[in-house]
Amino acid sequence: MPTVVIPALLRKFTGGIERAEVPGKSIRELVRHLGERFPGIDQQLLEDGDIRPSIAVSIDGEIATGGVLDAVGETSEVHFIPALGGGEV
Amino acid sequence: MAASTTTGNFKVIGTRPIRHDGVDKVTGRAKYGADYAFPGMLHGKVLRSPHAHANIKSIKIDKALKLPGVKAIVTSKDLPQAENKLEQAGEMTINPMYLSMNILAHDKVLYDGHAIAAVAATSPHIAEEALRLIEVEYEVLPPVMTVDAATRPGAPILLKDLRNKEEGDKPTNVAQHYQFKRGDVAAGFKAADYIVEREFNTAMVHQGYIEPHNAVGIYNSDGQATIYCSTQGAFDVRSLSAQVLGMPVGRIKVVPAEIGGGFGGKTTIYLEPLSVLLSKKTGAPVKLVMSRSEVLRASGPTSGSKIKVKMGAARDGKLVAAEIWMAYEAGAFPGSPVGAGAMCIIAPYTFENFQIDAYDVVVNRPKTAAYRAPGATNAAFASETVIDELAEKCGIDPLDFRIKNGVKEGAAQVVGPAFKRIGFIQTCEAIKHSEHYKSKLTGKFRGRGVASGFWFNAGMQSSATVNIHTDGTASVVTGSPDIGGSRASMAMITAEVLGLPVTDVRPITADTDSIGHTDVTGGSRVTFATGMAVYEAAKDAERQLIERAAKVWEKKPDEVEFRDGKLYAKGDGVPPMSIKQLAPRFPRTGGPITGRASVNARGVGPGFATTVVDVEVDPDTGKVQVLRCTVAQDAGKAIHPSYVEGQMQGGTAQGIGWALNEEYFYDDKGTLRNSGFLDYRIPTCLDLPMIETVVVEEANPGHPLGVRGVGEVSIVPPVAAVANAIYRAVGVRMTETPMSPPKLLKAMLKRRGATQHSAAAD
């Protein structure tokens, strides 16, 4: 099952859990299952049905580019990290 | 000098041809933004706020409009309501509402120089005269100039709509909090034999590009607009201008002019939508060009910052814990690079226990923009100074200390994922074995300092086409404005794949209607990502060449090989055919050949640099002279080594300026007092020695040619390296930039006083 590493500021939704094994073959499925297990966390990651512009997704050590459409492997490690730009203007 | 692990058997890549745009540049034929002129063109000027913080009670333009020669005036009332929402725009995320408020102040001015109105007139002088006739009534508010002032209880609030989830539903100046943590920080510090804790402050600084911002806007009666401007990202200018103007993206064409420096500062917009608005009102082309003062007051410098670093090390030199607090000035609107700074600050080292808290804070200064490895230089000044101090306490050479704790392939990054192949240790080794580091530095008040730095580098979207001409030469078309020699690199990649002489490939930077979407020239991404698109486009052309030769020879494509620019029929005695020989036969075999590729590039290889600096300090004035400087940087594969070295030298020069001279100097009313290059002092050739370079080539496995980005990371180490050198020269640890004569002299006198006081007590 893929492993999701929870960002520090979102661990309040997971009761402090840092890593969670979550089923799913895509980022969309992963976030959905994550939200079912830790209510509210999916809303922090999504906006208009896709990953928020301020968040980047790393799959197996590489910044992914497909948002919720990206595929995830059975043993993938997924990190949600601040997007490089980070800025607002 | 280069140390290489790349194994490609290249013929063109790695050589140093003369750049294709060189003749136009040195003969003055190259066309920069301000060179554009059109029949009937009007000239625009911008009215700017003299106050750092004030409500706008009214703007009266009647008198100005009556001035003969004035054709139009625009204020924020001419802008549509923009959405208060984050959107992705190349390397940045943008909030269209704040962007619009920065282009023309809505109901409030938020920094000295904030644009309020723009005038179009028949001459620049009349436009300037008209500015004096615009009457603005202000209600002046107290300026909030620093992170401390902005976060103090009861501090004046800049943006009434700004909320921070952590602080509840109330107005705040703290736009964002980032946090990264791992392990048990308290337990880590318990295991430390040495702990160093210091607070650092860095001044707001500007990129200092020589060419001011400019734009010519032409709005046609059919609703189509064209913008000519100096930019790092024509597609970003198009999308950002569309957002601000409420126009469809497809109705704006942006033509990127030659660019006289950007360093990140030309990745956003200022004048571009104003030129279109004024053109729409007047029916004529309108040109606006900033003065130097406007560039410094009202474009986007990088953040000043306050950073607290606590680090611990065991006696054997192993780093055991770090606790970091950092706050960056965003300027008037959210969006400092503090998040990136937080992800960079300890990136070169392996820490099992750390916590980093980072805050983005709005203040009454111009909205910050990207500046070469945004956020990382401030951060490295703090962390690399503390690292240096810990190395000294442990009695370990500062480079050995870095090598001992340095990240290698497989180490976890601050944000979690493991590094792939990286070259940090190699940059330390390269400096350690350099003639410079091995040389002896003698003389009083002289010292040597080292420091390292990290930058992510970026991927993002790029498009390229490679056209094979009827004489067998080629052109390569991309959408990446060339700010550091990328035309040459793109031509070299094409030439390498197609086996052509590099002089037979003409590189072209296209406008937004002539090439597929291409993200900004920034994030050290062009040679990596646009280079990847060019490589794929050239390969596409190669596949078509094989098909055509197969047709000529009446064979199947898999019976034809392409090597070194020639086509070979496998297994028979047919003589090989060059592209030049095949090109005239294109019409009979299917028509012209154009290779195409578009990528959203993955496989980014991060960059590391390590720098050694020798300085001499004047004990009477505190002036620092840089005697010698060497930088080692991992380039992955240097396509054109001279331009890689140029990037390394340029970044280092800017870092030294940041270290020693540069700062935004505001008075107590929030007015910028040094808005010119006489008083805002960037280094000149008289201030710097020849910067020596060592190009490390640890191939990036994520790129077909091993390329990493090279444009940014060299700016990260110099500030800390200079501070560490000053410490060894005169014994004071500088914790504030710039380390200018008054500040250093004060610190030296304080130390002398303390030493004398201590001697007297003894």
Question: Can you tell me the distance from the alpha carbon of B640 to that of B651, in angstroms, rounded to the nearest whole number?
Answer: 17
Query: What are the φ and ψ backbone dihedral angles of B523, each rounded to 5 degrees?
Result: 65, 20
In angstroms, the separation between the Cα of residue A32 and the nearest Cα of chain B is 22
CA torsion B98→B102→B107→B108, rounded to 10°?
A: 110
- Report pLDDT digits (tens) over B658-687: 999 999 999 999 999 999 999 999 999 999
Q: Which of B496, B645, B712, B736 is catalytic?
A: B712
Question: Can you tell me the distance from the alpha carbon of B543 to that of B729, in angstroms, rounded to the nearest whole number?
Answer: 61
Q: Which residue has the tokens 């055991």?
A: B320
Nearest-10 crossing angle of helices B376-394, B718-730: 40
Q: Which of B88, B95, B459 sits opposite A89 (nearest CB)?
A: B95
Chain B CA closest to residue A59: B417
pLDDT at B708: 96
Question: Can you tell me the distance from the alpha carbon of B744 to that of B726, in angstroms, rounded to the nearest whole number?
Answer: 9
pLDDT band at B179 (very low <50, low <70, confident <90, very high): very high
pLDDT at B7: 58
pLDDT band at B753 (very low <50, low <70, confident <90, very high): confident
* Token couple for B130: 């008209």
Residue type present at position B269: I
What Cα–Cα distance (Å) separates residue B641 from each residue in B4, B280, B459, B700, B711? 12, 46, 21, 16, 13
**Which residue in B360, B390, B437 sits closest to B692, CA to CA?**
B437
Question: Can you tell me the distance from the alpha carbon of B655 to that of B320, in angstroms, rounded to the nearest whole number?
Answer: 29
Chain A CA closest to residue B97: A89
- Which SS3 state, helix, strand or coil, does residue B99 take? helix
B712 catalytic per annotation: yes
Arithmetic mean of pLDDT, B704-711: 96
DSSP notation for B636-700: SS-SSHHHHHHHHHHHHHHHHHHHHT----B-TTS-BS--STTTS----TTT-PPEEEEEEE---
Q: Which of B335, B417, B456 sits opposite A84 (nearest CB)?
A: B456
Q: Are B704 and B366 in contact (CB under 8 A)?
A: no
pLDDT above 80 (res B213): yes
* HSE (side-chain half, CA atoms, 13 Å) at B210: 7
Arithmetic mean of pLDDT, A12-16: 93
Question: Can you tell me the distance from the alpha carbon of B282 to that of B268, in angstroms, rounded to the nearest whole number?
Answer: 25
pLDDT above 90: percentage of residues in chain B: 94
Chain A CA closest to residue B329: A87
- Report pLDDT digits (tens) over B106-135: 999 999 999 999 999 999 999 999 999 999
pLDDT at B168: 75
Mean pLDDT, rounded, of chain B: 95
Q: Where are the alpha helices (H) located in B210-270, listed in sequence order?
A: 234-245
In sign, the C-alpha dihedral spanning B641, B642, B643, B645 is: positive
Q: Which chain A residues touch B176 with a CB distance below 8 Å?
A: 86
Q: Residue A21 burial (CB < 10 Å; 0-12/13-18/19+)?
A: exposed
Q: Which of B178, B370, B418 sits opposite A82 (nearest CB)?
A: B178
- Report pLDDT digits (tens) over A34-88: 999 999 999 999 998 999 988 999 999 888 989 999 999 999 999 998 887 644 4
pLDDT at B571: 83
CA torsion B11→B16→B20→B22, rounded to 10°?
A: -170
The verdict on A82 touching B (C-beta cutoff 8 Å) is yes
pLDDT band at B90 (very low <50, low <70, confident <90, very high): low
pLDDT above 60 (res B313): yes
Arithmetic mean of pLDDT, B184-199: 98
Question: Can you tell me the distance from the alpha carbon of B639 to that of A89, in angstroms, rounded to the nearest whole number?
Answer: 33
pLDDT at A62: 87
pLDDT at B125: 98
Mean pLDDT, rounded, of chain A: 90
Arithmetic mean of pLDDT, B242-267: 96
Query: What are the φ and ψ backbone dihedral angles of B465, each rounded to 5 degrees?
Result: -130, 145
DSSP notation for B693-749: EEEEE---TTSTT-----SSGGGSSHHHHHHHHHHHHHS----BS---HHHHHHHHH
The verdict on A48 touching B (C-beta cutoff 8 Å) is no
pLDDT at B759: 62
Q: Which chain B residues touch A65 with a CB distance below 8 Å?
A: 459, 600, 602
pLDDT above 60 (res B3): no
Over the Cα atoms of chain A, what is R_g? Answer: 12
pLDDT at B205: 98
Q: Which chain B residues touch A5 with a CB distance below 8 Å?
A: 416
Count CB atoms within 10 A of the CB of residue A49: 8
Q: Which chain A residues touch B604 with a CB distance below 8 Å?
A: 62-63
Question: Can you tell me the distance from the alpha carbon of B731 to that of B623, in angstroms, rounded to the nearest whole number?
Answer: 15
In angstroms, the separation between the Cα of residue A86 and the nearest Cα of chain B is 6
* Token couple for B72: 């139009």
Q: Which residue has the tokens 């050739």?
A: B685
Arithmetic mean of pLDDT, B221-247: 97
Q: Are A60 and A77 in contact (CB under 8 A)?
A: yes
Chain B CA closest to residue A76: B417
Question: Can you tell me the distance from the alpha carbon of B206 to that of A27, in angstroms, rounded to the nearest whole number?
Answer: 39
What Cα–Cα distance (Å) separates residue B551 from each residue in B41, B156, B548, B576, B587? 54, 75, 5, 14, 12
pLDDT at B758: 62
Q: Which of B92, B343, B416 sits opposite A85 (nearest CB)?
A: B92
Q: Which chain A residues touch B336 with a CB distance below 8 Å?
A: 87
B121: β partners: B43, B70
- Report pLDDT digits (tens) over B530-540: 999 999 999 99
pLDDT at B649: 98
Q: Which chain A residues touch B456 with a CB distance below 8 Å?
A: 84
pLDDT above 50 (res B610): yes
Chain B CA closest to residue A5: B416
In sign, the C-alpha dihedral spanning B76, B374, B160, B56 is: negative
In angstroms, the separation between the Cα of residue A30 and the nearest Cα of chain B is 17
pLDDT at B370: 94
| Contact criterion met (CB < 8 Å) for B93 and A85 | yes
**Which residue in B749, B729, B704 sits closest to B496, CA to CA?**
B704
Residue type present at position B387: I
What number of residues does chain A have? 89
| Contact criterion met (CB < 8 Å) for A79 and B416 | yes
- Report pLDDT digits (tens) over B463-513: 999 999 999 999 999 999 999 899 999 999 999 999 999 999 999 999 999
Question: Can you tell me the distance from the alpha carbon of B225 to that of B254, in angstroms, rounded to the nearest whole number?
Answer: 8
pLDDT at B377: 98
Cβ neighbours for B179, distance < 8 A, ≥ 6 positions apart:
A7, A8, A9, B355, B356, B357, B358
CA angle B584, B588, B592 (to 5 degrees): 65
Q: Which of the pair, B245 or A62, is modelled with greater confidence? A: B245
How high is the ipTM of this complex?
0.90
In angstroms, the separation between the Cα of residue A51 and the nearest Cα of chain B is 11
Arithmetic mean of pLDDT, B133-145: 98
The H helix count followed by the E strand count for chain A is: 2, 7
Over the Cα atoms of chain B, what is R_g? Answer: 27
Question: Can you tell me the distance from the alpha carbon of A19 to that of B370, in angstroms, rounded to the nearest whole number?
Answer: 33
Q: Are B47 and B127 in contact (CB under 8 A)?
A: no
Widest distance between CA atoms in chain A: 38
